[in-house]
């Protein structure tokens, strides 16, 4: 019997043609509400969508024949990935298909800021002829600071180098060797802010990057700097940018993404400003990109329906049932260990080693190792990291991945040990399952621990002295932050302990500053243990 695929009408026809050429029966419908999806999905084996149709567990239960969901685009927030995985439905997206579109839009915005092109156009169309007012600047011999030297940032660097620009970059997650290959000089963030004539943002939205360019960062920038953001809206404080444009500290800026979208007359901080270019989140909107996401989504669905590996799957690839049943309880543990390791590690990552002890020694653990790699990479990369592409992304970034089976001495019988080596140091995390399913971290470096890695977690190494717990608890309590758990780990090698404090919600930067100011506190890191989910 011919398999049937449902496609929404804003997916390029080329993707539909590809599906039909492979022998599938294809129906094209308008974008569906969740209720409409539930009504029409029962006869279909796959569904390809953009971003308007929400696919929930209820929709998947209605579509009992569903084997694949294809997203023509990168974001999958509107798809219940967990429900799809539980039901054996492959979910694939197209994370790289619009890379060039976003790259070129960044370059276009940057160039427009140098010559005031939209403003000059509008002036001329209104009957003015004012050449002097729109005198610009040249790119040659200027310094471009690139925050996030990933798939888009690296391409922007290449293109701006053709304009004879010096390119410097801040990205703690790439090696110096990789940066040299790209022609980018790696610097710390403060240096980038102080030396750059132009600054472009290319970071994912994480706990670390949210609001990373705000009033303090603008104060460190050169007088007359130009700023471009085509990455994620909340990374840049647009109110602070507007104030710095008004003062003249920022000469020009270009923004495509905003903390709150859509932007209207009621929430646009740039109204009345002439030294700003804004576009409505259109960085990925080119004919070529829309064509590419359509074809790539169709190919992913074709592979899934044919039982082939899907390079852009965002959920788990099929593995033998017996193996899956044995390793399944460990997936959450090892991914969260990877997330923890990323927050703890300093410097460019060089090596990820996952060591298995006890019952996992004689089991196929490659998927668990991939899960750990996914946990390490997901919080720090702009591109989607999944169970299929995690190893390739690590390889592309010169990160060596090792898997070790050992019967050596461990604190518990069945343990997983994750070791991350960077250019600066090495960190080790040991985890296990209590009662066969409860994830626990039992060691971080030399500290013996016992905590559950979930939600928001404060890690605070500190000198072993009285009232350390009390001071942290008081600051959090006065800020209205609920503590849901606390545990202190000890080490016999030094006179230091480490606190693991589970909190109910995110913690603002001003509270973090107060915590770090406590005498005897060596460091405080806020970790979102769900960052990879």
Query: At how many degrees (to 10) do helices 99-115 and 287-305 cross?
Result: 160
In angstroms, rounded to a whole number, what is the distance separating the alpha carbons of residues 467 and 473?
Answer: 10
Check 34, 35, 261, 523 and give the catalytic one: 261
Structure tokens given for 503: 């909190």
Burial of residue 140 (CB within 10 Å: 0-12, 13-18, 19+) is exposed
Q: Over the chain (533 residues), what is each successive 10-residue block's mean pLDDT?
A: 90 94 95 92 94 90 93 81 83 86 96 96 94 94 96 95 98 90 96 98 85 97 97 94 98 95 93 96 89 93 82 70 82 92 89 92 88 88 69 88 81 86 92 88 88 89 89 91 87 80 88 91 87 52
pLDDT of residue 310: 78
Burial 449-477 (b: 16+ CB within 10 A, else e): bebbbebbbbbbbbeeeeebeebbbebbe
**Is 261 a residue of the active site?**
yes
Beta bridge partners of 352: 401, 420
Check 232, 336, 391, 462 and give the catalytic one: 232
Kindly report the pTM of this predicted structure. 0.69
pLDDT of residue 311: 73
In angstroms, rounded to a whole number, what is the distance separating the alpha carbons of residues 13 and 10?
Answer: 9
Check 159, 249, 281, 397 and give the catalytic one: 281
pLDDT of residue 89: 86
**Is 249 a residue of the active site?**
no
How many CB atoms lie under 10 A from the CB of residue 1? 5
Structure tokens given for 166: 């010096």
Structure tokens given for 191: 């240096």
């Amino acid at each position: 019997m011919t398999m049937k695929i449902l496609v929404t009408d804003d997916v390029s026809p080329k993707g539909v043609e590809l599906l039909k050429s492979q022998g599938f029966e294809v129906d094209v419908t308008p974008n569906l509400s969740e209720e409409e999806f539930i009504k029409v999905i029962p006869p279909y084996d796959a569904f390809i969508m953009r971003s308007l149709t929400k696919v929930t567990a209820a929709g998947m239960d209605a579509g009992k024949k569903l084997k694949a969901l294809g997203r023509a685009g990168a974001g999958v927030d509107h798809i219940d990935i967990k429900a799809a995985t539980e039901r054996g439905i492959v979910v694939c997206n197209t994370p790289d298909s619009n890379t060039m579109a976003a790259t070129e839009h960044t370059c276009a915005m940057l160039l427009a800021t140098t010559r005031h092109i939209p403003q000059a156009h509008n002036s001329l169309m209104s009957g003015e002829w004012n050449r002097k007012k729109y005198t610009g600047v040249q790119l040659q011999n200027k310094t471009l600071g690139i925050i996030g030297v990933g798939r888009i940032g690296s391409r922007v660097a290449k293109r701006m180098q053709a304009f004879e620009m010096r390119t410097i970059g801040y990205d703690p997650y790439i090696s110096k060797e990789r940066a040299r290959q790209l022609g980018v000089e790696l610097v710390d963030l403060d240096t980038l802010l102080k030396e750059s004539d132009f600054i472009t943002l290319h970071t994912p939205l994480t706990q670390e990057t949210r609001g990373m360019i705000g009033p303090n960062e603008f104060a460190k920038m050169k007088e007359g700097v130009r700023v471009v953001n085509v990455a994620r809206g909340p990374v840049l404080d647009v109110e602070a940018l507007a104030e710095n444009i008004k003062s003249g500290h920022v000469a020009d800026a270009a923004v495509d993404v905003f903390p709150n979208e859509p932007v209207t007359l009621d929430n646009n901080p740039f109204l009345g400003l002439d030294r700003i270019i804004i576009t409505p989140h259109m960085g990925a909107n080119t004919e070529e990109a829309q064509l590419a996401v359509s074809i790539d989504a169709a190919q992913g669905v074709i592979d899934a329906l044919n039982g082939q590996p899907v390079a852009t799957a965002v959920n788990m690839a099929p593995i033998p049932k017996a193996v899956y049943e044995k390793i399944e309880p460990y997936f959450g543990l090892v991914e969260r260990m990877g997330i923890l390791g990323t927050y703890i590690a300093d410097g460019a990552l060089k090596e990820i080693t996952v060591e298995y002890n006890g019952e996992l020694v004689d089991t196929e653990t490659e998927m668990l190792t991939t899960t750990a790699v996914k946990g390490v990479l997901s919080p720090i990369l702009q591109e989607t990291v999944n169970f299929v592409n995690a190893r390739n992304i690590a390889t592309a970034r010169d990160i060596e991945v090792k898997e070790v089976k050992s019967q050596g001495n461990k604190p518990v019988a069945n343990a997983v040990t994750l070791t991350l080596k960077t250019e600066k140091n090495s960190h080790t995390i040991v985890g296990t399952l209590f009662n066969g399913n409860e994830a626990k971290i039992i060691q971080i470096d030399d500290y013996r621990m016992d905590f559950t890695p979930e939600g928001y977690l404060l890690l605070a190494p500190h000198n072993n002295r009285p009232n350390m717990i009390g001071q942290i608890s008081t600051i959090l309590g006065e800020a209205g932050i609920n503590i849901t758990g606390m545990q202190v780990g000890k080490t016999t090698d030094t006179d230091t302990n480490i606190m693991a404090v589970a909190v109910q919600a995110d913690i603002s930067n001003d509270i973090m500053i107060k915590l770090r100011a406590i005498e005897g506190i060596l460091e405080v890191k806020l970790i979102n243990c769900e960052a990879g989910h």
